[in-house]
Amino acid sequence: MQAFFTLLTKVSKILSHIAGLALTFMMFLTVADVLGRATGRPIQGTYEIIGLCLAVVVGFGMPKVSLDKAHVFMEFIVDRFGATGRKVMNTLTRTLSLAIFLLIGYNLLTQGIEFRASGEVSSILRIPFFPVPFAEGICCFVLCLVFIGDIVRIWRDQYE
């Protein structure tokens, strides 16, 4: 089981680095576009690229954020329960999150298949849309593995 957690941590870290690179790219592109607009030469398709990169930033960052417990957490409610109550509440929230992100991941993969079949592309740069929902769907499934790992840690008393 330790190998699973190690692999999950490495994969989440790689995805997080990709999200960080996309965010950095967005920053430089925005600055370059603003400077270009000031000189009368804006970068064509900046809005499209920023939108696609934003999807990468959010989706690729989720597994690491969840693994590090860096998300919003309602501790003041859970702290009122005893140890078993906290385990049950944490398990319940992870199970619900697992179900939701399984559905989201499935729907994103379905959307990617539809985009690929239809050949849908962005309006200015003609960038194909289908890789983004595919990548987001895979990130959702990685997030589901994080939730499964959380549930295992909760019941092994290794979570808090």
What distance in Å separates the CA atoms of residue 90 and residue 88, rounded to the nearest whole number?
Answer: 6
pLDDT at residue 75 is higher than 80:
no
The answer to whether position 160 is within a domain reads: no
Q: To which residue do tokens 């589901």 refer?
A: 144
The answer to whether position 32 is within a domain reads: yes
What distance in Å separates the CA atoms of residue 16 and residue 18, rounded to the nearest whole number?
Answer: 5
pLDDT-derived band at 74, boundaries 50, 70, 90: low
Number of domain units in the chain? 1
**Which residues span the domain enclosing 138?**
2-155
Show the CA angle centred on residue 129, arms to residues 126 and 130, nearest 5°.
135
In this prediction the pTM is 0.88
Q: What percent of the chain has pLDDT over 70?
A: 98
The answer to whether position 99 is within a domain reads: yes
The answer to whether position 123 is within a domain reads: yes
pLDDT at residue 21 is higher than 70:
yes
